[in-house]
Structure 1
Amino acid sequence: MSSATSQQAVASLHTEVTRLRHELQTLKGEHESPAAEQTMYVGQYLVERLVQLGITKMFGVPGDFNLGFLDFVEDHPKIDWVGDCNELNAAYAADGYARVNDGKIGVVLTTFGVGELSAMNGIAGAFSEHIPVLHLVGVPSTSQQKDKPMLHHTLGDGRYDAYYLASQQFTVAQGNLTNKDAAAAEIDRVLTECLVMARPVYLMLPTDVAYQRISAKRLQTPLNLEPPANDEETEEFVLNEIIKLVEEAQHDAILLIDACAVRHGVKKEVEDLYKHTGFPVYSAPMGKSVVAETYERYGGIYVGSISSPAVKDKVENAKLILSIGGLKSDFNTGNFTYHIPTQRTIELHSDHTRIKFATFPGIGMKRLLPKLTARLQSFRAGATALEVPKFQFPVPKEDNEIISQSWLWPRVGKFFQPKDIIVAETGTSSFGVLDIPLPQDSIFVSQILWGSIGWTVGATLGAAFGGLDRNLNRTILFIGDGSIQLTVQELSVMIRWGLKPIIFVLNNSGYTIERYLHGMTRKYNDISNWKWTSLLDTLGGEEGKNCKSYTVRTKTELSALLDDPKFANPDVIQLVELIMEKNDAPRALKVQAELSGKTNRYVAED
């Protein structure tokens, strides 16, 4: 068994023990409750549990196997059915909603077969990037599942479990509510694992079971979402070893924060760590905005050989690196060019800790970090003496009016405000925003690991709703003209709901990141040029009334728009077409593409 498999097995075992303890507590509460038994439909129970978890929006597409359940959703005063244009976009939206809403899950509802398979790419992306999403599927009745008639949406061969089996590849827990007596416990199990493991789960709701009555008593006991406890003796050993290594490093240590720090709910613990200890702190690309980028001890983004020289020097020459929530994918590490040896690295994860070459399964960072912070505070004097490069990116002076990639990103950086949600599409936009300091309490949203182009449109819909839940500021999307064509329909949903995102469409005539990877002049990287400023009007808006569109071709035009208070504080959805050079790209993207191109080896052998 591999180390990763062993760690996952231990983590799953810990989760199951926690669930069983909670189940005993719940059953005890039910037994002791003197109140008269209240009943409700299974579908109502599920909706009520979601509301208890703070979910205000459900995404998806109606279908004949989920319509009855949708009545419960529509009739509940505290949750809204959003209604998307297709299931893929709905899965993207649920993903975006969960990313912005720390500690909450995204929910996508589809119908059996055709609907759930359409959503599966979005669910796989959420799995890849550790996003808690409930994929709820309305399925045929229990009698139909047993008798296996040749129903529509089936494969015609009686395999009613085919989609369930497929879902197991992309979710950490699955359930089929075929037994009403076990339905409530099964719902609770799946939801708990979704949140504790921070990954998608899959739940089948048969049409008949949705309308069967069950006891509502379990709702009186909140779900236990605390991570499993660490073994005290092992945890103490781990803490002592970390302190020993910091002492050996003579305080020359840095913190490197990555995506799972926010995915697994330790953002506050990480903040306490770096503020109370004073150690220099850096982020990986997927961890951007986990650390406040206005913090004076924050040095910027480390992405292997692609990093700025100052950041690369400080991180790679530190005597000790404390990595928190790392996800070492190619685009997150500069194509695996991290030059931080294992013998100088400590890794903290949600379900294990790694010290140099030794792994400690079951020692999770949620409970470890507060104790580590307390132990490391005594090193503050030495830690604060370490120099940290200032994280800044001034707007360059260019003697032309062309909207270049090198000018665009630092210029829009001055447009950002505190509490903004900044969504960047995979490719040009995500690489461009990386080096730009973000304001206090802003949130960076990008799908760097899974990298499904067009993901950001649906994610922007979900993120905007999440921002309303959390009373955040504006939602701003940067996306290329190629990517937006895949999922553009969700703009109509934003208009219907009165959302007010600002959408910057980078019109550079095709797939720029693909051109740099391979085929700079190939036709397959070209696209159709749409009438971008007519999109919102076409998709249900009324230009000048509930939407506004702009085309900017020069630096002067863009700066004037960004400085316009009415544009900067929108009361309607806005779309800006940016006319840019076809073959221009951010520096980091060019370097990453060159590295990826060597790895892909698109070279014919003689």
Structure 2
Amino acid sequence: MEVTLGRFLFERLSQLKVNTIFGLPGDFNLSLLDKVYEVDGMRWAGNANELNAAYAADGYSRIKGLSCLVTTFGVGELSALNGVGGAFAEYVGMLHVVGVPSILSQSKQLLLHHTLGNGDFTVFHRMSNNILQTTAFISDINTAPSEIDRCIREAWVYQRPVYIGLPANLVDLKVPAHLLDQPLDLSLRPNEPEAQEEVIQNVLKLVERAQNPIILVDACALRHNCREEVKELVNITNYPVFTTPMGKSGVNEDHPRFGGVYVGTLSHPEVKESVESSDLILSIGALLSDFNTGSFSYSYKTKNVVEFHSDYTKIKQANFPGVQMKECLQMLISKIAPLVINYKPVSVPYVPEYNTACPPETPLTQEWLWTRVSHWFREGDIIVTETGTSAFGIIQSRFPNNTIGISQVLWGSIGFTVGATVGAAMAAQELDPTKRVILFVGDGSLQLTVQEISTMCKWQTNNTWMFVLNNDGYTIERLIHGMNATYNDIQPWKNLKILDLFNAKESESTRVSTTGELESLFEDPMFAVLNKLRMIEVLLPRMDAPANLVAQAKLSEQVNNT
């Protein structure tokens, strides 16, 4: 009839299919961690450090919609905050549970380890507050279950991290088990009918007059689960559809109306012309950061822009607070068909593919890699690209249908992807064992979070391919500033020994430096089998970079110097 509070927390997460808990043990959360093993199907990842654990929780959430990170008070939670900040910036739902000292210790203001020595036990909670959707610092067992439920709901609905401070002495106290019988209500609140109707009527008027409309899909369409609405809107209207770098994988790129990736002045000329010459832009989930917009170089010729967001809609200069995009798009889809009957579809841009035909002894380049790898990708892949040459190079790759792309374009924390790959791989293990997780990470980025490969080895994520792009240091930084500066250098590692170092049971490490060597891998059917953890070191010229990164680096340097 009763369960411990700790078990209540993990049972709630299990109900939402959150079956892996990320983090590290510490003396203030050990009793809580005991409860992980009491829930069927739940596992404790046991990461290498708290920052990596936060990155892993981020990657897991981008696949499943929610994740849980557990750290200890003070030292543990502060180590995780860079990862939590990234989740907040990029709209990723995460439950950060912190094991804190007992209520008695707090009330006596004991001079405990992991404190600042001033008796303030809420200081770290306050530090986190600005990068959280909501928080709960639990002190009453009677209200604890409802507080946990409230935090989980807000993390899910708003796709932002939340914080629960859980005192060590409350974890083993009992709460009524029947509270778990009532499923969490994760539904969005309905839009205000009159405001939504005004939005719809205004949008339909613009649609009726438009001759050259487009749809532009961005990051929050993915985060707030609007892929189906985007798909229906494209199919009904036949409008050309484009994505931003952060919106990549929000649209089926095999769709005949897919026009490419729009990055302002960094776009392919035909894509730029098609987007900027349109007379109506239906923008879904925009997140207009510098690297997502070509340093804010959007140049629409029309003022007829409708922005659908998770918590408001904007039509030209008019804001409609509280009109959420998911319900609003569904309503628009139900009414738009009669107004697009006479629309004559314009052709979508044709972006010619880079010619990869060359002698097998040709040294590898970024242009060749990002074009050729498109043909090795397959439906259902999860593709993780690190900040740097990978995040910019992947823009020119074509994703198969039902691909999920993970890239931290806004927050841009170097090394994020190694941890995120762990989370994505463990989520994929739970959802579909045939899913591949493919990481592209630079040799410099790898050195920041390499320990997390140990977690991959521990959990035998043999659904993972790690392409390490070895271009001898921080090429993205060299392009922005300090081309020959030693601060952009790194100590070269013997990367092919990493999987052995971390004691991988089934693994394969390969180095490629020519197009023929990488072509042989891509053509080998055994290379695509999910039976071992793989690392492929790709040797590339030091200053070789995707053309759009070279252009972005120049823009970034100009911005930094003004």
What TM-score comes out, normalization by structure 1 length?
Answer: 0.90
Structure 2 CA distance for aligned equivalents of residues 383 and 513 of structure 1: 43
> Is the alpha carbon distance of 1:188 and 1:523 closer, same or farther for their aligned partners in structure 2, counting shifts above 3 Å?
same
Contact 1:253 1:383 in 2 (8 A): no
The match for 1:49 is 12
**Pairing 1:271–2:231 present:** yes
Correspondence for 1:121 among 82, 95, 111:
82
The match for 1:257 is 217
Contact 1:392 1:436 in 2 (8 A): no
**Pairing 1:520–2:480 present:** no
The match for 2:118 is 157
Identity %: 45
**Pairing 1:496–2:496 present:** no
Offset of 1:384 from its aligned partner? 5.1
Structure 2 CA distance for aligned equivalents of residues 420 and 395 of structure 1: 24
Structure 2 CA distance for aligned equivalents of residues 342 and 172 of structure 1: 35
Correspondence for 2:67 among 106, 114, 119:
106
Contact 1:279 1:380 in 2 (8 A): no
Show CA shifts across 1:558-600 (max 9, x none): 1111111111223110101111100100011001101111100
1:7-406 aligned within 5 A: 38-101=1-64, 104-250=65-211, 252-340=212-300, 343-383=303-343, 385-390=345-350, 393-398=353-358, 401-406=362-367
Offset of 1:342 from its aligned partner? 7.0
Contact 1:258 1:283 in 2 (8 A): yes
> Is the alpha carbon distance of 1:567 and 1:363 closer, same or farther for their aligned partners in structure 2, counting shifts above 3 Å?
same
Structure 2 CA distance for aligned equivalents of residues 204 and 368 of structure 1: 36
> Is the alpha carbon distance of 1:130 and 1:259 closer, same or farther for their aligned partners in structure 2, counting shifts above 3 Å?
same
Gaps of 5+ in 2: none
**Pairing 1:485–2:481 present:** no
**Pairing 1:586–2:546 present:** yes
Offset of 1:382 from its aligned partner? 4.1
Contact 1:177 1:206 in 2 (8 A): yes
Contact 2:262 2:271 in 1 (8 A): yes
Structure 1 CA distance for aligned equivalents of residues 518 and 491 of structure 2: 24
The match for 2:494 is 531
Structure 1 CA distance for aligned equivalents of residues 45 and 70 of structure 2: 10
Show CA shifts across 1:246-272 (max 9, x none): 22223x210000010011121111111
The match for 2:523 is 563
User: Greater shift after overlay, 313-322 or 259-268?
Assistant: 259-268
For 1:169, what is the secondary structure of its paired residue?
helix
Structure 2 CA distance for aligned equivalents of residues 467 and 61 of structure 1: 22
Aligned partner of 2:272: which letter?
K
For 1:168, what is the secondary structure of its paired residue?
helix
Structure 2 CA distance for aligned equivalents of residues 568 and 457 of structure 1: 20
**Pairing 1:548–2:547 present:** no
Show CA shifts across 1:68-108 (max 9, x none): 0111102222211010000000000000001112xx31111
Aligned partner of 1:220: which letter?
D
> Is the alpha carbon distance of 1:459 and 1:301 closer, same or farther for their aligned partners in structure 2, counting shifts above 3 Å?
same
Offset of 1:341 from its aligned partner? 5.5
Offset of 1:349 from its aligned partner? 0.4
Aligned partner of 2:507: which letter?
C
Structure 2 CA distance for aligned equivalents of residues 536 and 563 of structure 1: 24
Contact 1:391 1:437 in 2 (8 A): no
Offset of 1:392 from its aligned partner? 5.8
Show CA shifts across 1:184-221 (max 9, x none): 11001111111111100000111111111111222121
Structure 2 CA distance for aligned equivalents of residues 376 and 558 of structure 1: 47
> Is the alpha carbon distance of 1:391 and 1:294 closer, same or farther for their aligned partners in structure 2, counting shifts above 3 Å?
farther
User: Greater shift after overlay, 212-221 or 502-511?
Assistant: 212-221
**Pairing 1:469–2:433 present:** no
> Is the alpha carbon distance of 1:342 and 1:213 closer, same or farther for their aligned partners in structure 2, counting shifts above 3 Å?
farther
For 2:57, what is the secondary structure of its paired residue?
helix
> Is the alpha carbon distance of 1:123 and 1:209 closer, same or farther for their aligned partners in structure 2, counting shifts above 3 Å?
same
Offset of 1:394 from its aligned partner? 4.0
Offset of 1:316 from its aligned partner? 0.2
Contact 1:330 1:336 in 2 (8 A): yes
Gaps of 5+ in 1: 1-37
> Is the alpha carbon distance of 1:561 and 1:447 closer, same or farther for their aligned partners in structure 2, counting shifts above 3 Å?
same
Structure 1 CA distance for aligned equivalents of residues 133 and 213 of structure 2: 35
Correspondence for 1:423 among 375, 384, 395:
384
Offset of 1:158 from its aligned partner? 1.1
Structure 2 CA distance for aligned equivalents of residues 159 and 208 of structure 1: 18
Structure 2 CA distance for aligned equivalents of residues 355 and 239 of structure 1: 10
**Pairing 1:433–2:382 present:** no
Structure 2 CA distance for aligned equivalents of residues 215 and 406 of structure 1: 60
Aligned partner of 1:579: which letter?
L
Structure 2 CA distance for aligned equivalents of residues 562 and 248 of structure 1: 48
Structure 1 CA distance for aligned equivalents of residues 263 and 544 of structure 2: 21
Offset of 1:535 from its aligned partner? 0.6
Contact 1:393 1:437 in 2 (8 A): no
Structure 1 CA distance for aligned equivalents of residues 454 and 344 of structure 2: 50
Contact 1:298 1:391 in 2 (8 A): no
For 2:265, what is the secondary structure of its paired residue?
coil
Structure 2 CA distance for aligned equivalents of residues 84 and 478 of structure 1: 21
For 1:180, what is the secondary structure of its paired residue?
coil
The match for 2:560 is 600
User: Greater shift after overlay, 355-364 or 468-477?
Assistant: 468-477
Show CA shifts across 1:285-327 (max 9, x none): 1000110111110111001000001110110000010100000
Show CA shifts across 1:208-245 (max 9, x none): 11111111222121111111211111111111100111
User: Greater shift after overlay, 210-219 or 479-488?
Assistant: 210-219
Correspondence for 1:408 among 365, 369, 379:
369
Aligned partner of 1:297: which letter?
R
Contact 1:74 1:80 in 2 (8 A): yes
Structure 2 CA distance for aligned equivalents of residues 473 and 39 of structure 1: 39
Offset of 1:553 from its aligned partner? 1.4
Structure 2 CA distance for aligned equivalents of residues 442 and 347 of structure 1: 25
For 2:125, what is the secondary structure of its paired residue?
helix
Contact 2:55 2:417 in 1 (8 A): yes
Structure 2 CA distance for aligned equivalents of residues 418 and 435 of structure 1: 17
Aligned partner of 2:442: which letter?
G
Kindly tell me the number of residue pairs found equivalent between the two proteins: 559
What TM-score comes out, normalization by structure 2 length?
Answer: 0.97
Contact 1:280 1:383 in 2 (8 A): no
Aligned partner of 2:223: which letter?
R
> Is the alpha carbon distance of 1:383 and 1:531 closer, same or farther for their aligned partners in structure 2, counting shifts above 3 Å?
farther
Offset of 1:383 from its aligned partner? 4.0
For 2:260, what is the secondary structure of its paired residue?
strand
